[in-house]
Structure 1
C-alpha cells in the first residue's frame, strides 16, 4: 500500500497568476491607423481552421448529399465566414439559368417550366408581350383585307346557293305534280295546289279518288325527299364552318408568319422555346377571333378583365428567376424560411366571389433563386415553420422543386389550383444552428445525416498564442477602419486581448466571439468620443467594460445589499463549527456574477445517512446529488473501511430558495461536514469552491473568476484586513483573469487566492490544524483533523455496538429454548 504524500500548506497565488497581461510591446504599431491597407480586412476565420476546412470541402464536393451544417455559438462569425467563402466560390462559376413558367395549351392546370440561359428570360417576356401587341394589329387587318372578305363571301355564297338549289329542285318537282312547297311556323311543308293557290281541304275532298290518291303518293315522295335534304343542311353548315375556319387559319397564318419567323429567328438556339412558339402559333390560329374588336366588346359586356390581364394572359411569360446582370452563381440567404418562401407558392385572386389562378400567379421561392448556387438558412427558424423542413428535405432528396401548398398536399383545400411542372434542383444548402440542434437532428431524423453529410464546427475559443494575438489585433484594426471608428492605441488593443481571455474564462485562450469583441471596440470608441480623444486608449476600453457591467449589475448590487444588511447571513470574520462560505454563480442572460452562500452541516449518531436537504426537497439537481454521494463515498472509504458508519448528517445551503445544480460545492459541503465531525471551527473570512472525487482530490469548476469576485466584493464592502481569501482548485489557476481591483488587493496583501489540490490541504488552511496522515500502523497523528474525525466516527460505531441486541447462542432459537 503506497503511502500518501503529506498535505502541503497552500500558498497564496502571486498577483501575476491572477491576471495574464498582454504586453503592448507585442504589437509593432503605435495605433491601428499605422497598419497597411492589406491588413485591414477583418479576419472572421480567426481560430476557425477546422470549420474553414469543412466549408471548403463542402463547397468543392459536388456529389449528392454533401450539404453543410454550420454549428457553433451565435456571434462567432459563422454567417459572415460562410457567406464569404460561398461568394468566393460562386464568383468562379458561371451564372445559373433563368427559369419561367408558360401556358400548357394541352392542360392549363399543369403549367410548363421553361429553362433559359442566364439573362434571357426577360427578353422572352418582352418578345411575347410585343407579339401579342402586334397580333392585335395584324389579325384584325388580315380579317379586314379584301381578299379575305371576298373569299369568305364566296364560301358563304356557295353554301347559300347549295341550299337554295336543293330546295328549288324540290319546289320545281312539286309544282310539276300539282303540289306547293309552303313555309309554316313548324318549318317547310307540302300541300296540293291549284295554279298558284293552295287547294283548300274541302276542295281537295271533292277531287276524284284517283286524283287524291295520286297527290297523296306524290306528297309522300316529296316529303321523303324534303326530309332527306333538311337532314343534309347541318352537314352543309358544318362543312361551311370548316371551310371558314380553314380560311381563317390560312389568313392568320399569312398574317403572323412574318412575326413568328422573326421571333423564332431570335430564339433559334433554344429548341424548347421554338416548341413553345409553335404551340403559341397553333393556339392563336384556333382563337384568332379573340384579337378582334368584337371580343373587346364582349369582355366589356361580361365584365371580364381586358387587355394583357384578360384573355391574353396565357401568352405571357411568368419570369420566375432572372439572372440578368449577374456574373456568378447565386448565393441566397433566406431570413424567413417558411414553406412558401422556400419552395415557392401559387397565389389566387378573387373574381366575382371566386378564387382563381393561373401560371402567372406562380411565385418563386428561395430554392428557385439559389438554384445552381448556394442557399443559407437558419436551422432553428426553419424547424419552427410547419412543413418547411420536410419540403426542403423532399426537394434535396428528389433533386427537384415541386410547388405544392400544405393544404393542397393534405387534401384540405378544394379550390382549383395548379400543379406546376417540377423544376430540376442543383443547389448546395447550408444550415446554421447551435450544436445541440445539430446533435438532436442527427439522433432523431434519419434523413438528416444523408442530406447534410458535412459539419463545420465553429469553436468559441482559440489558443492565446502570439500569432493568434497578433491576428486578433489586426481583426480589431480592420473593424475600426471598416466602420470608420477612431484608431486604437496598442495599449487599447492589448486590453481587448485581455478581455478576450476574460470572456472565455481562461488566461491561455482567446474568445472567438467576434460579435461581443466588436461591440467592445464600438463602445470604447464611444467613450473616446465623449472624452474628445483622437485615439481609443486602454482606459476607454476599460471604461467600456465597466459600463457594460454597470448596465446589468442591478441584481448583483441588490444581493450584496441584503448580505451587508444582515438579511442574508454571510459571515466574513470569526470562526464557526460546521459552517462555511460557499460560492455560486448566477446567470442573468449574458451577465453572470458570483454569490457567496452559507453551507452548514450537523452530525449525530445514526444509521450512516448523509442527508442532502436540497435534494430531499427537490431543489437539488442530479449533478448536485452526485457530488453529495461522492463525498459520502469518500467519507466512508477513508474513515470507516471495516465497520459501517453510525452517522447521521444533514447538509444544507442556508437561505437558498431556488434550484441548485452542479457539483462545484461538493468540497464545500465536505469541509463543513468534517468540521462538524472534528468539532473544529472554520475560518469565516475564507470562501471555498471546487468539486471532489472519491479520493479526496479537488477538481476544477466553472465560473471561477465570478465566484472569487463575488466574495471579494462582499469582503471589500465590510473592510479588507488581509485575512480574507478564497480557496480554489489548483486546476483552475490557468482560468484566472480577475478584475483589476482584485489583483491590486492581492498585490497589497489584502486578499488571497489559494490553490488547493486535496481535501486535507483545504481543511488545514480553513482550520489552522494539520489534517494528518496515517502512520505505518494506520493511525492518524494525535490532535490532527483526521484523528478527531476518525475518533468521532469510532465513538458513534461503539455506541451502535452497545445498543445492538445480543445474538442468540448457536443452535438456539429466538425464544432461547432451542425451539
Structure 2
C-alpha cells in the first residue's frame, strides 16, 4: 500500500456551521434520549426485566461517559412503574429476646403501627391501674382474703381444741408454735414438771409429742391453704388484667387482621402485659424514684416498635446509590450503649443499611469502594444468593469483643443490585470468583465513542442544549456548537467517531461559558470554545512542552 502524505487540513473533520438548522441553541429542544449506548441499554433492560434469580447487573465502561446518570435515570423510570415496597419493623421477641422479630407492613404503615402500640401501652398503664384500684376488684380480693382468714382461724381453733383436750396450751412463736403443759389451769414450769412422778412426766411427754404431730400437720395444711388462696389471688389478677388488656388489644388486632405475623405479635404482647400486670400497677412507684424510673424505662422498652425501613414518603420503588459501601452502611448495624462500665444493646438499636432500604427496588454500588471495605463483597454475595438479609454485629466480624449481641430475624430480599466498575474488575472477579457470574449474570458495557453521522451530530447539539438548561449557561451559537463537535472528534481520536465522554464535554461547555462571561458576551461563540480548549491544553501539556523543548535543543532525537 502506497504511503500518502496528509496535509494539516485533513487531520480534522470540517463542518459548515451554516448547515446547522439553527442559529443558537435557544432554538433547540433538549436531548431526551441517550446517544450511542444501544448495546449497554439493551443489556440493562434485560437485567432489569428478568425476574429469575441472579440477574443483577455489573456496569463497565470508561469514565465520564455519563453511565451513572444514565443508569440512575433509567432506574427512576422503572421504579416509577413499580409498587412501593413494604415497611419493615423489628419488635421484641417474647420467646427468645436475643432474636428480635421482623414484621412487614404496607408502605407507610410501620409508623402507624408504632403509634398504635405506643398508644396501647399508655392506655393499658392507665386502665390496668384503674381496674386494680376499683371497688369491684377490692371487694373480690377482700372476699378471697376473708375466706382465707376464716379457714385459717378455723384450723387454728381446731388445733387449740385438740391441745385443750390434751391439757396443753399452744403459743405462737417466730418459729411456729410452742407446746406448754397445763396443770390445774396454770402453765407447768420446768421445775414443777421435774417434781412430777415418772408416770405423769411420761404421760405429758406423750401428749406433747402427739400435739407436735398435730401442729406439724396443721402448719402443712396452712401452707397448702396459703398457696391455694395465693393462686386464687393470682387468678383474680390475671382475670382482671385479661379483661382490660384483651379488649384493647383485640381492637388493634382487628385493624391488622390481614397480617398474620402482626396479630401473632399482638397476642404475645397481650400475654406479656397480663403476666406482668404488677409492673403496671405499682412496679414503678414507691421509694427509690430514679431506680424505679430506670426500671420502668428498661421494662417498657420491650413494647416499642423499631421501624427500620419507612417507605411512607416513597412513590414507586426505591432507587439508592450507595457511595460509601462500608459493611454497616450496606448491611446495617446493631448499635450499643454503655451501662455500668459495659456495653449492651437491644432490638431498638438495630439500624437498616442501604441493601434493606433498597429492598423492593434498585441499589447502585461503586465496585472499587465496595472492594476496598472488608467483608462487604462477601456479605453482599451471601445476601443475594440466599435472598435474605441478616443484619449482623460488625464487631463479631472484626473479632472484637461483642457484648449482649443480637441475632435479628433475616428479612427476605427482592431487589436488583447494579455494581459500577472497570472492565478489569469485571474480568478479575469472573476469573477468580466462581460465584460472581452466578450472581451478576448481566454485564452492561458502556461505549466511549459512537459513529459521527448527521443524526449523532444533531443529538450532540441537543445534548449541549440540555446541559445549558441544567447548568443555566448562556446560549451557544451554532459556531460554538461546531467547535464542541470538533472537540468531540478530537477526544475520540478519529474523524468518523464522536466521543461519548460527556463529562469532558460538560466541563468544556462550562469553561466556554466562563470565558464568554469574562468578555461580557451574551452568547457563547466559537472563539470562546477555542479559548476554553487552548486554556485546558495549557493546563495539561507541561510534559508535552518539556519533550518538544528537549527535541528542539537536541537533547532528544526522534528515530524514524
TM > 0.5: yes
| Deviation (angstroms), 1:412 | 4.7
**1:42 and 1:476 in contact (8 A); partners too:** no
Summarize deviations over 1:449-482 as a string: whole Å, max 9, x none.
Answer: 1000000000111111221111111111111012
2:180 corresponds in structure 1 to 191
Determine whether 1:347 maps to 2:335.
yes
2:284 corresponds in structure 1 to 295
Change (3 A) 1:96 1:108: same
Among 448, 454, 477, the residue aligned to 1:460: 448
Change (3 A) 1:195 1:552: farther
| Deviation (angstroms), 1:24 | 1.4
| Deviation (angstroms), 1:186 | 3.5
| Deviation (angstroms), 1:340 | 1.5
2:11 corresponds in structure 1 to 18
**1:32 and 1:489 in contact (8 A); partners too:** yes
Change (3 A) 1:250 1:11: closer
Task: Output the CA distance in 2 between the equivalents of 1:175 and 1:509.
Answer: 123
Among 23, 31, 37, the residue aligned to 1:30: 23
Task: Output the CA distance in 2 between the equivalents of 1:26 and 1:196.
Answer: 139
Task: Output the CA distance in 2 between the equivalents of 1:23 and 1:239.
Answer: 106
What are structure 2's unaligned runs of at least 5 residues?
A: none
Summarize deviations over 1:380-435 as a string: whole Å, max 9, x none.
Answer: 10111000000000000111101112443576534111111111111111000011
| Deviation (angstroms), 1:437 | 0.7
1:240 corresponds in structure 2 to 229
Task: Output the CA distance in 2 between the equivalents of 1:545 and 1:147.
Answer: 92
Give runs of aligned pairs for residues 331-480 of structure 1, distance below 5 A: 331-409=319-397, 412-480=400-468
Matched residue SS, 1:462: strand
2:520 corresponds in structure 1 to 532
Determine whether 1:136 maps to 2:125.
yes
Name the count of aligned residue pairs: 560
Task: Please identify, of 47-56 and 273-282, the stretch whose mean Cα deviation from structure 2 is larger.
Answer: 273-282
1:708 corresponds in structure 2 to none
Matched residue SS, 1:295: coil
2:270 corresponds in structure 1 to 281
**1:19 and 1:507 in contact (8 A); partners too:** yes
1:549 corresponds in structure 2 to 537
Relative contact order, higher structure (CA 8 A, sep 6+):
2
Give runs of aligned pairs for residues 491-530 of structure 1, distance below 5 A: 491-530=479-518
2:30 corresponds in structure 1 to 40
Change (3 A) 1:184 1:197: farther
| Deviation (angstroms), 1:206 | 1.8
1:53 corresponds in structure 2 to 42
Change (3 A) 1:298 1:24: farther
Task: Output the CA distance in 2 between the equivalents of 1:518 and 1:477.
Answer: 11
| Deviation (angstroms), 1:130 | 0.6
Structure 1 runs, 4 residues or longer, greater than 6 Å off? none
| Deviation (angstroms), 1:301 | 4.7
| Deviation (angstroms), 1:197 | 3.9
| Deviation (angstroms), 1:304 | 5.5
1:591 corresponds in structure 2 to none
Higher helix residue share: 2
Matched residue SS, 1:257: helix
**2:245 and 2:273 in contact (8 A); partners too:** no
Determine whether 1:210 maps to 2:199.
yes
| Deviation (angstroms), 1:110 | 0.7
Summarize deviations over 1:118-139 as a string: whole Å, max 9, x none.
Answer: 1111110000111111112111
**1:122 and 1:322 in contact (8 A); partners too:** yes
Give runs of aligned pairs for residues 251-290 of structure 1, distance below 5 A: 251-290=240-279
| Deviation (angstroms), 1:158 | 2.3
Matched residue SS, 2:93: coil
1:811 corresponds in structure 2 to none
1:163 corresponds in structure 2 to 152
Task: Output the CA distance in 1 between the equivalents of 2:5 and 2:516.
Answer: 38
| Deviation (angstroms), 1:94 | 0.9
1:329 corresponds in structure 2 to 317
Task: Output the CA distance in 2 between the equivalents of 1:196 and 1:531.
Answer: 131
Determine whether 1:147 maps to 2:133.
no
Task: Output the CA distance in 1 between the equivalents of 2:333 and 2:237.
Answer: 39
Task: Output the CA distance in 2 between the equivalents of 1:410 and 1:486.
Answer: 54
Task: Output the CA distance in 2 between the equivalents of 1:29 and 1:517.
Answer: 20
2:109 corresponds in structure 1 to 120
Among 539, 555, 558, the residue aligned to 1:569: 555
| Deviation (angstroms), 1:303 | 6.4
1:777 corresponds in structure 2 to none
**1:335 and 1:377 in contact (8 A); partners too:** yes
Task: Output the CA distance in 2 between the equivalents of 1:427 and 1:332.
Answer: 11
Task: Output the CA distance in 2 between the equivalents of 1:289 and 1:63.
Answer: 53
Task: Output the CA distance in 1 between the equivalents of 2:421 and 2:287.
Answer: 58
Task: Output the CA distance in 1 between the equivalents of 2:491 and 2:275.
Answer: 75
Task: Output the CA distance in 2 between the equivalents of 1:373 and 1:298.
Answer: 53
| Higher Cα radius of gyration | 1
| Deviation (angstroms), 1:105 | 0.6
Matched residue SS, 1:94: coil
| Deviation (angstroms), 1:554 | 3.7
Among 164, 169, 181, the residue aligned to 2:170: 181
| Deviation (angstroms), 1:141 | 0.6
